[in-house]
Structure 1
Amino acid sequence: MTLVELRGVSKSFRKGDETITPLDHVDLDIARGEFVSLMGPSGTGKSTLLNLVSGIDRPDSGTINVGGTEVTTLSRSKLADWRAAHLGYIFQTHNLIPVLTAYENVELPTLLLKLTSSERRKRVALALEAVGLSDRADHYPRQLSGGQEQRVGIARAIVAHPQVVVADEPTGSLDAETSEQVQVLLQRLNKELEITLLMVTHDSDVASIATRQLVLDHGKFLDCNSGAGIR
């Protein structure tokens, strides 16, 4: 079943006197439970795609449907509500709030949902357990390693039980050993919890952990696998 559907999506930017078009009438299907990685040269629109799928930015043309919701037609206030309930975002640099504990950082997205306090506690506990940090719940970011901080960020991305999680260079700031640990974690979350993942990376080894690899080149997708899901 298709979860993310892009049809005829274009996005351009002005750079001086030049118009840059990182996405040029692209179509893309991502199935529920799929793990898709996206590569491409710097500046080709990989992060732009994530921002469009997550509703942070809007396309110049085309439609984006996520889980039955036409994201491109939502007002800004409704987009914020939709993101809180249906989308998780994993950042390259963790973006944890230093004065909050790991538990409190993970809890933040749930504060935007209509949950009871007991349900909120249950979700945070399960998210921390899923990333192997139940014993670090009361630790502040300064008391955690880089890999642990990223795992807190991943727990925060999945705590609201989103339909899709987008990850922008999730291993980009980690050393090789820690990067491998995060890769294993992402694969496990995809396989065991059936979390749908769309990941941008510049590292071909990291890209290879996904079930499907795409390359964004001159505004179009190139499929590194069978071609399924691209029209």
Structure 2
Amino acid sequence: MALVELRGVCKRFCKGDETITPLDEVDLDIDAGEFVSLMGPSGTGKSTLLNLVSGIDQPDSGTITVAGTVVTQLSRGKLADWRAANLGYIFQTHHLIPVLTAYENIELPTLLLKLTSAQRQQRVELALEAVGLCDRANHYPRQLSGGQEQRVGIARAIVAHPKIVVADEPTGSLDAETSEQVQDLLQRLNKELDIAFLMVTHDRDVASIATRQLTLDRGKFIETR
């Protein structure tokens, strides 16, 4: 069984008198430890797909199964618990809490898990080490560079040891050099931690770091590599 399974998933939006269907009866499998990138024109439903896989949004029809759980059948309360234990999310613009240190921002997802304070500390320290920010643990976001902020966001996404991380344009707000560093980091984490990644990007060079590349076009997936 694949880690992520989409079967007959359809999502529609109404825009005035027009109905837009960014996902039209799509099927998709993502294996454990796989790195999948998704491209496509703006407004074609790439971010919608991430929100569906993560349970933030629900499809109009079809089923989504992640790590053996039918996400589309979970209540809101159970979705929050499931997401905390199974899924990490990397945003384009970091979404760090400015009054919390890097350590505290990374620790947040672990507060939803049944862990002791010692276990939480161990996970945060491992996440900081994985992204190379042990020396910035007590720094606030305003004291970090853009690349360091994104590394904190990545550490936050992996701290709970998720089975999959969804990443929405994770290099979109970074300069070329920092983008390359983040790409290298994502590849390394994928291989070393055996975490699956589903990444949306507009950049073909960024997409090429994935083991499988998809394009979303007219509501359907097209495999490009």
TM-score (norm 1): 0.97
The CA deviation at 1:61 is 0.4
Quick one: distance in 2 between partners of 1:192 and 1:158? 12
List per-residue Cα deviations over 1:23-65 (Å, max 9, x = no partner).
0000000000000000000000000000000000000000000
**What is the rounded CA distance, in whole Å, between the counterparts of 2:93 and 2:117 in structure 1?**
29
Deviation at residue 168 of structure 1 after TM alignment: 0.2
Q: Which runs of 5+ in 1 are unaligned?
A: 226-231
SS at match of 1:150: helix
Structure 2 portions without partners, runs of 5+: none
Cα deviation for residue 152 of structure 1 reads 0.1
Where 1:2 maps in the other structure, the secondary structure is coil
Partner in structure 1 of residue 76 of structure 2: 76
**Over aligned residues, Cα RMSD in angstroms?**
0.5
Number of residue pairs matched by the alignment: 225
The answer on 1:13 being equivalent to 2:13 is yes
1:153 match: 153
Equivalent position of 2:173 in the other structure: 173
Shift of 1:105: 0.2
1:210 match: 210
Correspondence for 2:4: 4
* 1:58-97 equivalence runs, <5 A: 58-97=58-97
Q: How does 1:45-194 map to 2 (within 5 A)?
A: 45-194=45-194
| Secondary structure at 2:22 match in 1 | strand
Which amino acid in structure 2 is aligned with residue 129 of structure 1?
Answer: E
Query: Separation in 2 of the partners of 1:195 and 1:178?
Result: 22
Show the counterpart of 1:228: none
* CA distance in 2: counterparts of 1:122 and 1:192, whole angstroms: 18
Hey, what's the Cα distance between the residues in 1 that align with 2:31 and 2:18? 36
Amino acid at match of 1:87: L
Q: Aligned partners of 1:140, 1:195: CA distance in 2, in Å? A: 27
* Counterpart residue identity of residue 111, structure 1: L
- Secondary structure of the residue aligned to 2:3 is strand
C-alpha separation between the residues in 2 aligned to 1:177 and 1:134?
21
Task: Output the CA distance in 2 between the equivalents of 1:121 and 1:127.
Answer: 10
State the TM-score, normalizing by the size of structure 2: 0.99
Q: Which runs of 4+ in 1 moved over 4 A?
A: none
Whole-angstrom CA distance in 1 between matches of 2:29 and 2:134:
35
Task: State the match for 1:229 in structure 2.
Answer: none
